[in-house]
Amino acid sequence: MATGAVGAWTAELGADVSAECSVNGLGAGTCDFTNAGWMGGRVCTNIVLKDLGTDEVYTTKRVCSEDVPANETVSRSFQLLIAPASVCKYQAVDVKWSDKCSVEVLSDP
């Protein structure tokens, strides 16, 4: 399971929304968006599948929180495309995609 967190900026005064995301070996993931501010807010983050050796980006999934009330957490599910095996350049049965690729959580510009 790959995990990552990102502090995310929001343009909404009083909101302080951050994301913590995880992805399993099949590409199913969840982001928990927590608002530590005193006003509701929203933010988006990018889940990026990259080659560990070259930093080549294979796929990106944008996940948005929608509105997160003050001092609350909301969860959003997503699916990251990890197939076929050639994407992360693993061919052997005993090699996992996570041995060749990494998942990063980046704030949305």
Mean pLDDT of the chain: 81
Structural domain including 85 reads 2-107
The CATH code of the domain that includes 78 is 2.60.40
Does pLDDT of 109 surpass 80? no
Handedness of CA 96, 100, 104, 109 (dihedral sign): negative
Say if pTM beats, i.e. exceeds, 0.85: no
The answer to whether the CB of 88 falls within 8 A of the CB of 82 is yes
Residues of the chain with pLDDT > 70: what percent? 77
- Please give the tally of structural domains in the chain: 1
Give the model's pLDDT for residue 32.
Answer: 95
Q: How confident is the model at residue 40 (pLDDT cuts 50, 70, 90)?
A: very high
